[in-house]
Amino acid sequence: MKIIVNRVQDFLRLETSAGFILIFAALLALMANNSPASQFYSGFLNTPVAIQVGALEIAKPLLLWINDGLMAIFFFLVGLEVKREVLQGELSSVDKAILPFCAAIGGMAGPAIIYSIINWGDATAMRGWAIPSATDIAFALGVLSLLGKRVPVALKIFLLALAIIDDIGAIVIIAIFYTENLSVQALGLAAVGFAALITLNRSGVKSITPYALIGLAIWVCVLKSGVHATLAGVLTALAIPIKGRNEASQSPLHYLEHSLHPWVAFAVLPLFAFANSGISFSGLTFADLTATIPLGIAAGLFFGNQIAIFSLTFLIVSLGFARLPQGIRWVHIYGAGCLAGIGFTMSLFIGTLAFDSPGLINQVKLGVLIGSIASGILGYCVLRWSSTAKVVVIEPIGTHA
């Protein structure tokens, strides 16, 4: 038990540090694209990069290599975390998972509903309905770290579990709603690769190398299939063994999770943030701020998360299906709901899948930044105030004093 607690604490420390690096990368992109260096910024992202082996060629600008390639590593890590949490962690039993699960459902549905109401009737804008439904755990935990011991550790674990379930939802949404022009042949080859990974797992293979090679082949197949290539990372992660050669040895899953986490937190995600958050403020008008796409995203992130997460959590606890974790009060849940409105990385990523037009993507970035900043500020203020808030106990319906 002590080992698990130490791992969670190490994870949280890493995530909070990564949050500050992400903020710096985003600010650097904003400065670069709104300065004399803007041409260099655009040129850097549009640098052509090609890899060819025989008849197989993958040629993309650097921006798409970051979004399709490096982000596959991020989704691989997400897949590892999801598998660990489901088999051994906070999602390993119904009583542990029900509260963050219901909160995550609210955190995905609420923002999507608000965005859809604002953009209803505009078929193009409606492609972005899922953009505000994502939570950036690195940013959220970065804000929590500023509060130190003012918030309980249990709240950080609750928010972490909520974000992991949210990531699962985002993966499903991407697979179902942001996939076009399917190649059955390429998908079939990817399925063969996944079957090979499962065979390796069932055969007790613990070496990471064959999983990595087959995973790379699956990534190429998925990239060519029309399904977003990052899903190859999730498929590969699900096949990684969670048990070691013996009880004393570290499992491949835990080894990869521990080894990759710093690289993803301090390299992959900051590079993604730098490549995707460079909004150009040139010619920006009030009309741009009130356009339906950025307005829907900002309102969805800010209002949708805090309202839906708090309301659904309150309902589940009131009906007696779950209890608040020890040390957590309702003001903490509301504050966590506000912080869940920090969408940033995943919201920007879904935005790049939803829209192709540079103008619309710029609107996405604007909405994500406004909604995320407002959510972070409110969440911080609520949780800072929570240390002096009165305790309110909600008894399940039907209980008697």
Separation CA 154–CA 330 (nearest Å): 13
Query: In what helix (H) or strand (E) does residue 290 lie, and over which residues does it extend?
Result: none
pLDDT band for position 3 (cuts 50, 70, 90): low
Interval 216-242 mean pLDDT: 87
Q: Of 368, 362, 352, give the one whose Cα is nearest residue 64.
A: 352
**pLDDT score, position 21:** 81
* Minimum mean pLDDT range among 68-72, 307-311, 364-368: 68-72
Domain 2-178+228-388: CATH architecture, name and number where available: Up-down Bundle (1.20)
Which single residue is written with the structure tokens 């918030």? 151
Question: How large is the angle between the packed helices 252-263 and 71-88, nearest 10 degrees?
Answer: 140
- Cα Rg of the chain, angstroms: 21
Tokens representing 247 are: 């009880």
The angle at the Cα of 189, spanning 187 to 193, to the nearest 5 degrees, equals: 115
The predicted-structure confidence for 125-147, as pLDDT tens digits, reads as follows 999 999 999 887 767 776 776 77
Residue type for 401, please? A
| CB atoms inside a 10 Å sphere around CB 188 | 12
Interval 47-64 mean pLDDT: 86
Which single residue is written with the structure tokens 């990684």? 240
Separation CA 370–CA 348 (nearest Å): 12
| CB atoms inside a 10 Å sphere around CB 134 | 28
Instruction: For the chain, give the percent of residues with pLDDT over 70.
Output: 89
Could you give the dihedral angle defined by the CA atoms of residues 57, 59, 64 and 66, in that order, rounded to the nearest 10 degrees?
A: 70
pLDDT band for position 281 (cuts 50, 70, 90): confident
Buried b (16+ CB within 10 A) or exposed e, 32-62: bbbeeeeeebeeebeeeeeeeeeeeebebeb
As a whole number, the mean pLDDT across the chain is: 84
Distances (CA, A) of 301 to 116, 135, 175, 400: 13, 9, 22, 38
Tokens representing 121 are: 């009737």
**pLDDT score, position 2:** 52
The predicted-structure confidence for 343-381, as pLDDT tens digits, reads as follows 887 888 889 889 988 888 889 989 998 999 999 999 989
**Residue 382 neighbours by CB under 8 Å, 6+ apart:** 331, 334, 335, 338
Separation CA 363–CA 115 (nearest Å): 14
**pLDDT score, position 90:** 67
**pLDDT score, position 401:** 42
Q: Of 254, 235, 261, 309, give the one whose Cα is nearest residue 89.
A: 254
Q: Is the dihedral of CA 26, 31, 34, 35 positive or negative?
A: negative
Separation CA 228–CA 233 (nearest Å): 10
**pLDDT score, position 105:** 93
Q: Of 131, 137, 140, 136, give the one whose Cα is nearest residue 112.
A: 131
**pLDDT score, position 394:** 47
Higher pLDDT, 156 or 334: 334
Query: In what helix (H) or strand (E) does residue 312 lie, and over which residues does it extend?
Result: helix 305-318
Most confidently modeled of 61-75, 94-108, 119-133, 141-155?
Answer: 119-133
Separation CA 25–CA 308 (nearest Å): 30
Distances (CA, A) of 102 to 82, 270, 272: 16, 30, 29
Residue type for 395, please? E
Separation CA 229–CA 217 (nearest Å): 11
Partners of residue 58 on adjacent β-strands: 51
Q: Does residue 310 contact residue 341 with C-beta atoms inside 8 Å?
A: no
Interval 98-120 mean pLDDT: 93
Residue type for 206, please? K
The predicted-structure confidence for 143-185, as pLDDT tens digits, reads as follows 776 776 777 877 877 887 887 788 778 878 887 888 766 788 8
Distances (CA, A) of 107 to 168, 262, 377: 13, 27, 18
**Burial group, residue 8, by CB count within 10 angstroms (0-12, 13-18, 19+):** middle
Which single residue is written with the structure tokens 């390639």? 69
The predicted-structure confidence for 248-276, as pLDDT tens digits, reads as follows 788 999 999 989 988 888 888 889 889 88
